[in-house]
Amino acid sequence: MDLVLSIDLGTTGVRAAVYDQSGTALSSAYAKLGMDVSEAGWISQDPEEMFNTSLALANKVAKEFSGSIAALGISAQRGTAIAWDRKTGKSLHSAVSWQDQRTLARVQELIDMGIPVNTLAGCTKFEWLVQQVPEVAAAASAGRLAFGTPDAWLSACFSQQQALVTDCSNAGATGLYDASQQQWFDMAMELFHQDPAWHMELVKTDAAVGETDLLNCGKGVILGGRAGDQQAACFAHTLKQGQCKLTLGTSGMLDLHCGAAAPEEAPGTHALPLWHLQNQDQVYCLEGSVLTAGASIEWAQRVGLLRDLDELSQLDWNAQQQVLFIPALAGLGTPYLAREVRAQFSRLDLSSSRSDLLMGIVAGVAHRCADLVETLENSASANQIETVFVDGGLSQSNSLMQGIADFGNVIVQRSDKPEMTALGGAMLASRNMAKPINSEGVYSLFTPAISTEVKEQQRTIWRTQIEALCKP
């Protein structure tokens, strides 16, 4: 039986899993990744740790399946910028995270010029690396520089620099990709002082691009697919045009499948390539973001407000929760795009308890997810959103699922497989096999349980809090 190994390189950790043809994870392992965060908003990670951890986890889960692993799929965080030497395979600098703010002044300069760009994209990070890091500039001069997103870094490392590739779902997060022409954008390359030779070859999302001999489960495992983390989760949900999914990890990302026509962007959303499969047209999605969803829960744990994650599951949902938390620990995403705003609790009084604060965090994340639903509904690419497919670690909170259903006025369908990103990577890689993975999802349903009057009352309170926080 042919099996698929999948690696999901996230922001805060790496997961590796082995899947059979039914989409069942036969073995799975996870490890956290380090992150360097400065007071100035510089956020970086170690590319070598990314690969070494991925390799160790891959070998851990695959060792009992020697000879049975046919393909490797990779899903990864997207807007992070990595520079390495394509001859030695060694990284030249820390990976500049998609969350990083070091290029904020450059972004503002471009915005003032009428050029739409944001700090989430990799373009200004790649520009910063070649202008500010001597080792990167030297590699560029010597014709040895490789620039890529984390998927490309892992593909290069696993293939020992033979597969220097990426796909549209990852390239779309760089700000350097022309989705309409399905190639690198010459004008963007010039604007950000880039040489196209530094960047990866563009291949189909499910293309087989080489092999890896680094796994202890046998040689010649095909590098069979790669996708951005959100796009991989969409693929695992077998998303169809007009449907959307919400992945609740470090961030919260709502993606609407828009088909082969590029969608118009609603406030604070991004039109991105969804995937480009072999023998099919490239398709698009419209994406909105909650910058700190699961990160808000991790913060609550770090400061001692939340003792353990089991405590979160014991909270009883209250749609009329008095205490509210605005989860802006790294600013506000869609639709506000207010990166300078910071989180706050509101409506505290002497009777407020620790449980009230925790439920306030859950309610705040639920409201932010409802913001995404409303924004995408108001775009020219969508009708009313009736159902949202949900996955990710934070989706295990019943209170949060009910909160999203109530405030978003949607049916929430939570996957029984929270790690849909890793499954999506495996499903893409399996398309090169005789029998691709055929995964039939099982979902738990959460339906709106409050009146329209209560919903509008709570949403009005929420909007008032947000508007006050965003005032200059």
379 domain residue, yes or no: no
Per-residue pLDDT, 338 = 85
pTM of the model: 0.92
Could you tell me if residue 430 is inside a domain?
Answer: no
Q: Which helix (H) or strand (E) holds 82?
A: strand 82-85
Given a contact cutoff of 8 angstroms between Cβ atoms, the answer to whether 423 and 23 are in contact is: yes
CA distance 392 to 403: 16
Residues 6+ apart with CB under 8 A from 138: none
Of the candidates 16, 55, 60, 35, the residue with the CA atom closest to the CA atom of residue 154: 55
CB 2 within 8 A of CB 434: yes
- Asked whether residue 471 is assigned to any structural domain, the reply reads no
Kindly state whether residue 345 falls inside one of the protein's structural domains: no
Q: Both tokens of residue 75? A: 């899903």
The domain of 138 spans: 3-227
Q: Are 21 and 87 in contact (CB under 8 A)?
A: no
Residue 122 lies in a domain: yes
Other residues' Cβ atoms within 10 Å of the Cβ of residue 367: 27
Mean pLDDT of successive 10-residue stretches along the chain, which has 472 residues = 92 94 94 90 96 96 88 96 97 95 94 90 97 97 97 97 97 95 96 97 96 85 95 95 92 94 88 95 95 92 89 89 92 88 92 94 97 88 85 92 96 91 96 88 93 96 92 75
The number of folded domains in the chain is 1
Please tell me the distance from the alpha carbon of residue 99 to that of residue 19, in angstroms, as a whole number: 31
CATH number at residue 192: 3.30.420.40
Q: What is the pLDDT of residue 96?
A: 97
Query: How confident is the model at residue 350, as a pLDDT?
Result: 94
441-458 exposure pattern, b = at least 16 Cβ within 10 A, e = fewer: bebeebebebeeeebeeb
**Is 457 among the domain residues?**
no
Domain assignment present for 445? no
Ordered DSSP codes for 371-423: HHHHHHHTSTT-----EEEEESGGGG-HHHHHHHHHHHTSEEEEES-S-HHHH
What is the pLDDT at residue 409? Answer: 95
Domain-embedded: residue 170 = yes
User: Which tokens in the block code for residue 76?
Assistant: 């990864």
